[in-house]
Amino acid sequence: MKRMLLRAGAVACAACVAAPAMAQAPLSPGQERLMAKRAAQVDAYRKLTEEIKGLRIDSNTFVRDFVAESDQINTALNEFIKGLKVDGPPRHMPDGTCEVDVKVTLQQIMQCLKRINLEYPDRKRTTMSFDQMGQYTKKTVFSATGVGLPPGMKSESTAPKGADLRTAGIPGWEGVTPQGRLLAERGALTDARRNLAETVHGLRITGNTYVRDFAVVSDQVQTSLGTFINGVKEAGPYRYLPDGVCEVDVEVTLQDVIKQLNTIRQQYYAGWPPTLIFREIQFERIIDWGPPRVIRATGNGAVPARGYLKGAAAPAAGGGAPSAPPWSSQVATATGTGVPREGEAGAVARLNAERAAEAVARRNLAEKVYGVRIDASTTVRDFVTVDDQVKAAVERYLAGARVAGEPVVMPDGTVEVTMELPLDGVWRIMADDRIARVD
């Protein structure tokens, strides 16, 4: 009997010891690939959800407004998106990461929203028509690419399972984890879209009107234009520089920008005041001012500190792109004063005074920017006079300057407006030109 008890105890102890060992057993290559695929699907669904929630249902309602009405509606939409199948086979990379594509049609989205509306009715939206969503977007298919890592690569202390063909042989990238590379890529894409937005906002419509003037008509207009720009895809592969910086280009045709501006105006046409100039203005006139037919912007993203293997230091700055000077991190500001036109009063007088003040502020701001000293003997003005393309790029960037704070109205009716412009964009233009000359 004692022997039986001792034997049972030994078996129990062995089971207790074996249980943690089994729990900590490493995943097989097949399991890692499966987990990476699932993580990529989650990432793709998240991106697709953001795009779908930005779609317009009617002139005043977005999908995000509809799903925000209740947790049940939000859950139903999420379940629909998570039920979408992966489009094509997953792409497993040499470093263990996985990429998957997920697609959905506008028709499928509308049918889903109709079904949810029937399941969770509300008197406030009984007349809501989801069939008209096609009037507010020209896209019929929406897609997203998700990137996933196997569980073993989520730790910054875990080495990649294989060489990454995209960064193999590039100095400074040997100690970067797959997660670090993905973070650098996402940062570069975000930066590229932000730079593209600045260029689009700086496009001139008439002698005194820019796209940025149209964008600030309302928050809805600004949101729609921002959604369009955030949907712009990469224009080519990512570039990995020796200093641990990742670059990527995004581009959009001028015709697509004009088409989008016309579409946005049509969406908000009914709610605008009759005197608003954008009712009759022709966005096609942008072409007359000579911008490039394809608008391109470059973004940069750096590998964060947590994106390196333990014991691997981030590369020292140098090589690749020129190092940024201290002034590139500053923001230039300038103030302008506008006087009401003779004989005008009320809101019209103030509006015209604000426009005059803004024009003066922009002129003063341009003088400040052009006067920035690059070195002991060269200013920005000297630099841009060497190349017409560089000069045009700087002028477009200057046109994207924004108003800082609210206009100040003086007792005598004059108005003061302050404009500001980050100087990092000016440096990017100069750095890109220097790199192109070297190449």
DSSP assignment of 346-373: HHHHHHHHHHHHHHHHHHHHHHHHHT-B
pLDDT of residue 125: 55
Rounded Cα–Cα distance for residues 373 and 113 (Å):
57
User: Quick one: tokens of 150?
Assistant: 């196997």
Segments of 65-140 assigned E as strands: 91-92, 98-105
pLDDT of residue 230: 82
pLDDT of residue 24: 52
User: Quick one: tokens of 309?
Assistant: 């293997």
Residue 146 phi, psi dihedral angles, 5° rounding: -105, 145
Burial class for 335, CB neighbours closer than 10 Å (0-12, 13-18, 19+)? middle
Segments of 212-293 assigned E as strands: 239-240, 245-253
- pTM for the structure as a whole: 0.51
User: Quick one: tokens of 224?
Assistant: 């729609």
Rounded Cα–Cα distance for residues 136 and 92 (Å):
37
Q: Give me the average pLDDT of each 10-residue run along the chain (439 residues).
A: 46 45 61 84 88 81 82 89 88 80 91 88 66 80 83 47 56 77 85 87 84 78 82 84 83 90 74 57 87 86 75 51 72 88 76 85 87 75 74 80 82 86 82 57
Contacts of 73 (CB under 8 A, 6+ apart): 66, 67, 116, 120
Q: Which helix (H) or strand (E) holds 100?
A: strand 98-105
Contacts of 263 (CB under 8 A, 6+ apart): 136, 138
Query: Measuring CA to CA, which residue among 303, 301, 325 is closest to residue 431?
Result: 325
pLDDT of residue 405: 78
Quick count: other Cβ atoms within 10 Å of Cβ 66? Answer: 22
User: Quick one: tokens of 13?
Assistant: 């102890």
Q: What's the full length of the chain, in residues? A: 439
User: Quick one: tokens of 335?
Assistant: 């103030």
The domain ranges of the chain are 30-150, 174-321, 327-426
User: Which pLDDT tens digit goes with each residue over 120-140?
Assistant: 877 565 566 788 888 777 778
Quick count: other Cβ atoms within 10 Å of Cβ 418? Answer: 19
